[in-house]
Amino acid sequence: MKNKLIKAIAFDGRIRAYITNTTDVTNEAIKTHDLWPSAASVLSKTMTVGLMMGAMLKGEEALTIKIDGNGPIGNVVIDSDSKGNVRGYVDKPHVHFSRKQTLDDVTTLGYNGYIDVVKDLKLKDLYSSTIPIQSGDLAKEFTYYFAMSEQTPSVVALGTMINEDNTCRVSGGMIIQLMPGHQESDIVYLENKYEILNKFSTLLTEHQDLTEILKLVFDDNFKVLETMDVRFHCDCTKEKFSAGIATLGSEEIEKIIEEDEQAEVICHYCNTQYLFSKEDLQNILKGIK
């Protein structure tokens, strides 16, 4: 079954909601980066929230989330777009902490640092926003992000379960946002649903169909606007890395040709290796001159 993301509105448009399951996305990331369980959980949750934030964008717009909590995992970086594509990596994939048989995301990520969100809205400048990490709990951090950076009261739920064999059992999330014109009763309504949303991985285990979860939260007062597929996808190519090498400048490239006769580049996001032969490098050099 393909991983899906649903955009919905509820209560006559006073609330909008994004819900996604990212189990396959997470398994792809685990395979790509050989992630250990708590590292997998942290990257999975970041990709999940990134996919839902990507779904808030239009057309060719895209975003990057970079989290540095000063914990053992190092930086967590994800890119997502409006079409359900996400890619991501962590500095240290072989990190694992658990407490009372629960994955300990907070210790893995750290709780003393920043979350950067950079949006490419295809305008002249990138839109970037930084918030200090408060607790290390990613769902709470992004609730805070939406309140501070986007002035949108939101409920963010994220859940990931990793099996003993280091595969992802379930993963996914939901963002519920109060739109301008919402009523006091909408807030009270959502507060009463907080307990079930808080155990999101249990919800995902019990309900394969995301619309069942929407129904649990909103009863029949919601409307699905769009359903899309989501996937772990890296769009890197040798051409893109050529352009990157070109930015080193001719002097530096000449030095590489002289000293190493070739260059090997690895994509952080998907671990694909690209080998640039002497001839490749000379062609890049010709392009600069």
Binding site for Zn ion (CB under 5 A): 234, 236, 267, 269-270, 272
Q: How many residues does the chain have?
A: 289
H-only helix segments in the chain = 23-33, 37-54, 105-109, 138-149, 184-198, 200-206, 210-218, 238-246, 250-259, 278-288
Q: Which is nearer to Zn ion, 146 or 269 (CB)?
A: 269
Q: Which is nearer to Zn ion, 216 or 236 (CB)?
A: 236
Q: How far is the CB of 41 from Zn ion (least distance, A)?
A: 22
Q: Which is nearer to Zn ion, 239 or 258 (CB)?
A: 239
Whether 154 and 147 have beta carbons less than 8 Å apart is answered as yes
Nearest in space to 43 (alpha carbons), one of 54, 57, 56, 27: 27
Q: How far is the CB of 271 from Zn ion (least distance, A)?
A: 7
Q: How far is the CB of 104 from Zn ion (least distance, A)?
A: 29
Q: How far is the CB of 269 from Zn ion (least distance, A)?
A: 4
Q: How far is the CB of 218 from Zn ion (least distance, A)?
A: 38
Whether 111 and 97 have beta carbons less than 8 Å apart is answered as no
Whether 104 and 38 have beta carbons less than 8 Å apart is answered as yes
Residues 6+ apart with CB under 8 A from 92: 39, 72, 73, 74
Q: Which is nearer to Zn ion, 147 or 275 (CB)?
A: 275
